[in-house]
Amino acid sequence: MPEPKNTPLTPELYAYVLAQNPPLDPALEALADVTREHFPEAAGMLSAPEQAPLLAFLVRLTGARQVVEVGTFTGFATLAMAQALPADGTVLTCDVSEEWTAYGREAWAAAGVADRIRLRLGPALETLRGLPPEPHLDLVYLDADKGGYIGYWEELVPRLRPGGLLVADNVLYHGEVTDPAASGPALAIREFNDHVRRDPRTEAVLVTVADGVTLARRR
């Protein structure tokens, strides 16, 4: 096995990385601050700051108009993607918490993109199964309950257009995926990663952004 070629991110280097990326929109900064203030114990579920410009970049790169997000939380990533969409684009975002998503609704409206976002509260699998079955989605962002990832994948991949992109977050799960004794979410993520690697419908790469991100392109 080759030696890993990576550079440990010190606080100074991480600050440098963020400074080289496009600056976060003030609406995103404000939503992240509000999330940390009101949900300090759950704030770790926010997408990392470097993921917001990455998601926006991928939306623009793919020319996406139809986006699905599984796992809204307070709508940080939702907002980043909606801001990158053309005026006729839509993000359908799924969550189960009215409390969390209420902060997102406020932020989306304040940022002027609420008309590009459709929030569906309830089990995400039910929402996904209600989508048209034919391939029509341009981009998917998966950042929800880890035990549900394979089920979401199986509903979403057939609905991705050829060349469409699925982005899955937390695919290293805090470094626990290689633990032989892994259980719960870490084991679920390991099984998901194996599932993705074996799926002939997509070509996928796992990159070490934040807690690990898989980019899977529909063939």
pLDDT tens figures, 76-85: 999 999 999 9
**CATH fold of 11-218, please?**
Rossmann fold (3.40.50)
pLDDT tens figures, 6-24: 898 999 999 999 999 999 9
Helix (H) or strand (E) holding 166: strand 160-169
- Reduced to 3 states, what is the DSSP secondary structure of residue 6? coil
pLDDT tens figures, 127-184: 999 999 999 999 999 999 999 999 999 999 999 999 999 999 999 999 999 999 999 9
The Cα–Cα gap between 153 and 159 comes to 10
Query: What's the pLDDT score for residue 191?
Result: 99
Residue 5 has pLDDT above 90, yes or no: no
pLDDT tens figures, 153-169: 999 999 999 999 999 99
The domain ranges of the chain are: 11-218
Query: What's the pLDDT score for residue 4?
Result: 84
The Cα–Cα gap between 26 and 138 comes to 27
The Cα–Cα gap between 177 and 191 comes to 9
The Cα–Cα gap between 181 and 39 comes to 30
Three-class secondary structure assignment of 46-111 = CCCCCHHHHHHHHHHHHCCCEEEEECCCCCHHHHHHHHHCCCCCEEEEEECCHHHHHHHHHHHHHH
- Does the predicted TM-score (pTM) go above 0.85? yes
Query: What's the pLDDT score for residue 6?
Result: 84
Q: Residue 58: which of 207, 201, 211 has the closest Cα? A: 207
Residue 1 has pLDDT above 90, yes or no: no
Q: Residue 55: which of 8, 27, 10, 21 has the closest Cα? A: 21
Query: What's the pLDDT score for residue 2?
Result: 84
Question: Average per-residue pLDDT in the chain?
Answer: 98
Average pLDDT score over residue span 36-58:
97
